[in-house]
Amino acid sequence: MIKQKTLKSAISCTGIGLHSGERISMTLHPSDIDTGITFRRTDVAGEGALIPAAFDSVCDSRLCTTIGSDGKTIATIEHLMSALAGAGIDNAMIDVGGGEVPVMDGSAAPFLFLIDCAGVVEQDAPRKALRVLKTISVSDGEKSASLEPSDGFSIDFQIEFENPVIGTQQMALDLTENAFKNEIARARTFGFLHEAEALWAAGLAKGASLDNAVVVSGDKVLNEDGLRFEDECVRHKILDAVGDLYLAGAPIMGHFAATRASHALNNQLLRELFSNPANYEIVDMQAVEHRRSTGAASWTKENVAASPATH
């Protein structure tokens, strides 16, 4: 049986909020079977504010992915969610001492390191996956995103910028745990100097710096060490998408294709997916692996879990 996973022990970190500029503490805790990923604002009086990491908790997606409940919000969750997805963590409680997840170095690698230090344990329950049954797509002008049926989780992402450093970048890969760790996790968020200056003038992106973002000015990368990958920007867009799509509440079995997609479009795609129960089904991951290994041509009712999607 392919089992659900949680953390072996709690682990904490402290860092700067990308948009708030505030110093924020965060602790990742183990959690029970079938509880999923939940955030808790520990700076709120009483027992704190619980916010499920779910696509329908997203309340803002303009500069990052923000989730909220009962008037309380937590922003910039996408890099942590991406790390949790990449490490196969199904259940965790995330305590955050403010309104934003620390940005760390702007990638998912520090969060993977925290998860590795805490340890990962299997739980006595089968892991579920969300299997895409029908191709769905959303668009906004030149931006587009789609999900189509597939036996695994694969991504094909393309970005286009009128900038000589970035230009057009495209990457496609099957997103295994090793592929995420080696090819995606270290890719940092990026932006342009003139945009950062405009945000700073508006009192936004207060924590952004060369320590936590790739900053481009004209034909130059301002970071002293340059890029971690020649196509780091499209790799980071994939990192963002992995985190946004994990708000489905389970790993996705499907092929995700995107052109210039944003946090907003990623969330819109999940809302479209869940708008019709005929678009998806929840399956046992053991059945998924059995089908891959045997080349089975079809699914039977025994492959499909009776429980609804945990979203």
C-alpha to C-alpha distances, 217 to 126, 163, 198, 290, nearest whole angstrom:
49, 9, 14, 50
Intervals of CATH 3.30.230.20 along the chain: 3-126
Give pLDDT tens digits for 273-309.
Answer: 999 999 999 999 876 665 655 554 434 333 333 333 4
Q: How far apart are CA 152 and CA 6, in angstroms?
A: 22
**CA nearest neighbour of 111 among 37, 28, 197:** 28
Confidence at 1, pLDDT banded by 50, 70, 90: confident
User: pTM for the complete prediction?
Assistant: 0.92
Lowest average pLDDT, out of 42-46, 106-110, 150-154, 210-214, goes to: 42-46
Closest alpha carbon to 59 in 70, 49, 48, 73: 73
Length, in residues, of the chain: 311
Confidence of residue 175 (pLDDT cuts 50, 70, 90): very high
pLDDT reading at 15 higher than 60: yes
Distance CA 104, CA 268 (A): 27
CATH topology of domain 129-303: lpxc deacetylase, domain 1 (3.30.1700)
pLDDT digits (tens, 9 = 90+) for 74-118: 999 999 999 999 999 999 999 999 999 999 999 999 999 999 999
Which of 189, 300, 295, 276 lies closest to 236, judged by CA? 189
Instruction: For residue range 241-264, list pLDDT tens digits in order.
Output: 999 999 999 999 999 999 999 999
- Please tell me the distance from the alpha carbon of residue 303 to that of residue 23, in angstroms, as a whole number: 46
The answer, yes or no, to whether residue 311 has pLDDT greater than 70, is: no
Which residues carry out catalysis? Answer: 263
**pLDDT value, residue 43:** 92
Q: Where in the chain is the domain with CATH 3.30.1700.10?
A: 129-303
d(CA 80, CA 58): 15
Q: Is the pLDDT of residue 218 over 70?
A: yes
**Candidate from 92-96, 151-155, 179-183, 282-286 with smallest mean pLDDT:** 282-286
Q: CA-to-CA distance for 217 and 233, rounded, in angstroms? A: 14
Least Cα distance to 258 among 132, 145, 142, 141 occurs for 145
Please spell the DSSP secondary structure of 33-49, one letter per residue. Answer: TT--EEEEETTSSTT-E
- Mean pLDDT on 18-28: 95
CA–CA gap between residue 189 and residue 174 (Å, rounded):
21
| Of the candidates 287, 277, 278, 288, the residue with the CA atom closest to the CA atom of residue 311 | 277
Are the C-beta atoms of 25 and 13 separated by less than 8 Å? yes
| Domain 3-126 part of CATH 3.90.600.10 | no
Q: What is the mean pLDDT of the chain?
A: 92
